[in-house]
């Protein structure tokens, strides 16, 4: 019986050992499979819209992925970094320049730029920050050269300057410099946000501008007064000519009327001489007799008879 028990125990031990080995192998298989999958997924990467994926091998760029999708790298010996593919804005540092008429002004620009060739950019500029720094130097150099050929009032006065095309010229020349040095980047647009005077020059310029405006205003006032005097003199001359002509016409009309009246009077008085004599006498009364008039006349004089109402 003891031998049978020993045999049964051995058989159970063998069965348990077989089962343990089986489960161990299965577990080990899944662990290896999981590790393999993890290993594969950790070496896959996604290229998104608007970015470049730079694959380096021992520090050297071996591949650039620019199309959106899933890609891979060789484990352990390759690494992946990201560069922006979209357009970026960079605020150029404010700088002081001299104009053609020796005025000092402060220029504040910004640039819209992008990476066209990541491999060239990395090879020549190394980093995005270094590329921006080189671009800023070119923007300042070109801006200083172009604005140095213009007078101050041509820069600040949109009507007198070619301000609109000036930004295009700066953009074009900066791109030429970047292309010559093969930085792999380009500027889409360079714009001047503002142009200011240094603080020590502002007050003197403002004073000069005010003086010029006063001088211009006084010139306009003088021209206005001269025009006013000329117009008034011309108007007075025309008025005098019109009045003289009107007076001459009135005199002519008056003389014609008086002649016509005398003619009518003569025709009327010639028909009744006695009435005419009476009329002339009454007219003479108007000229000789007033409120305080004292008349001494003989009683038989025509005046006295008429005043007393005697007609014969």
Contact (CB, 8 A) for 100 and 143: no
What sign for the dihedral angle of Cα 97, 99, 102, 107?
negative
Residue 301 DSSP one-character state: S
Same domain, 27 and 124: no
At 284-300, the pLDDT tens digits run 767 676 667 776 767 67
Residue 30 belongs to some domain of the structure: yes
At 228-273, the pLDDT tens digits run 888 988 898 888 889 888 888 888 888 888 888 777 777 766 776 7
The per-residue pLDDT for 159 is 44
Same domain, 171 and 186: yes
CB proximity list for 244: less than 8 A, separation 6 or greater: none
Residue 47 belongs to some domain of the structure: yes
| Domains: count for the chain | 2
Residue 184: which of 89, 113, 289 has the closest Cα?
113
Of the listed ranges 31-40, 94-103, 246-255, the least confidently predicted one is 31-40
The per-residue pLDDT for 264 is 76
Q: Last residue of some domain: 38, 68, 84?
A: 84
Same domain, 98 and 42: no
How many CA within 13 A on the CB side of residue 95?
Answer: 20
Same domain, 54 and 73: yes
Dihedral in degrees, nearest 10, Cα atoms 89, 95, 98, 103: 100
Same domain, 39 and 140: no
Residue 136 belongs to some domain of the structure: yes
Same domain, 92 and 184: yes
CB proximity list for 281: less than 8 A, separation 6 or greater: 302, 303, 306
| CATH code at position 169 | 3.30.479.30
Beta bridge partners of 212: none
Residue 211 belongs to some domain of the structure: no
Residue 266 belongs to some domain of the structure: no
Same domain, 62 and 146: no
CA distance 183 to 93: 20
Residue 106 belongs to some domain of the structure: yes
CA distance 215 to 221: 10
Q: Last residue of some domain: 164, 197, 230?
A: 197
Same domain, 100 and 176: yes
Residue 110 belongs to some domain of the structure: yes
Max avg pLDDT among 63-67, 200-204, 266-270, 299-303: 63-67
Same domain, 73 and 109: no
Read off the tokens for 41.
Answer: 């997924």
Read off the tokens for 181.
Answer: 């040095």
Contact (CB, 8 A) for 126 and 184: no
CA distance 309 to 263: 31
Residue 112's domain comprises 88-197
Same domain, 125 and 41: no
Residue 187: which of 198, 196, 199, 178 has the closest Cα?
178
Given a cut of 90, whether residue 187 has pLDDT beyond it is yes
Strands in the chain per DSSP E: 44-47, 51-57, 60-65, 69-72, 78-84, 88-91, 95-98, 104-115, 185-196
Q: Last residue of some domain: 134, 164, 197?
A: 197
Higher pLDDT: 280 or 257? It is 257
Same domain, 77 and 52: yes
Same domain, 159 and 92: yes
CB proximity list for 153: less than 8 A, separation 6 or greater: 160
Residue 273 belongs to some domain of the structure: no
Read off the tokens for 140.
Answer: 């300042």
């Amino acid at each position: 019986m003891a031998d049978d028990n020993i045999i049964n125990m051995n058989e159970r031990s063998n069965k348990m050992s077989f089962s343990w080995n089986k489960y161990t192998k299965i577990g080990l298989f899944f662990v290896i499979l999981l590790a393999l999958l993890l290993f594969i997924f950790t070496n896959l990467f996604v290229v998104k819209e608007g970015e470049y994926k730079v694959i380096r091998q021992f520090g050297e760029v071996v591949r650039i992925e620019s199309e959106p999708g899933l890609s891979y790298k060789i484990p352990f010996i390759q690494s992946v970094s990201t560069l922006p593919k979209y357009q970026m804005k960079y605020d150029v540092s404010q700088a002081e320049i001299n104009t053609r008429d020796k005025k000092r002004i402060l220029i504040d620009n910004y640039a819209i730029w992008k990476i066209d060739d990541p491999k060239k950019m990395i090879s020549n500029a190394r980093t995005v920050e270094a590329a921006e720094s080189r671009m800023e130097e070119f923007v300042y150099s070109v801006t200083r050269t172009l604005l140095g050929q213009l007078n101050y009032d041509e820069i600040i006065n949109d009507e007198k300057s070619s301000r609109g095309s000036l930004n295009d010229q700066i953009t074009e020349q900066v791109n030429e410099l970047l292309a010559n040095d093969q930085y792999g980047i380009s500027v889409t647009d360079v714009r001047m946000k503002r142009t200011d005077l240094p603080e020590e020059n502002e007050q003197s310029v403002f004073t000069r501008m005010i003086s010029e405006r006063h001088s211009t205003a006084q010139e306009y006032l003088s021209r206005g007064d001269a025009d006013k005097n000329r117009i008034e003199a011309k108007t007075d001359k025309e008025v005098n000519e019109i009045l003289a002509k009107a007076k001459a016409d009135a005199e002519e009309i008056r003389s014609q009327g008086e002649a016509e009246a005398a003619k009518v009077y003569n025709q009327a008085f010639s028909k009744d001489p006695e009435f005419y004599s009476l009329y002339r006498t009454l007219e003479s009364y108007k000229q000789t007799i007033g409120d305080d008039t004292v008349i001494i006349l003989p009683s038989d004089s025509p005046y006295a008879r008429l005043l007393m109402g005697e007609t014969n």
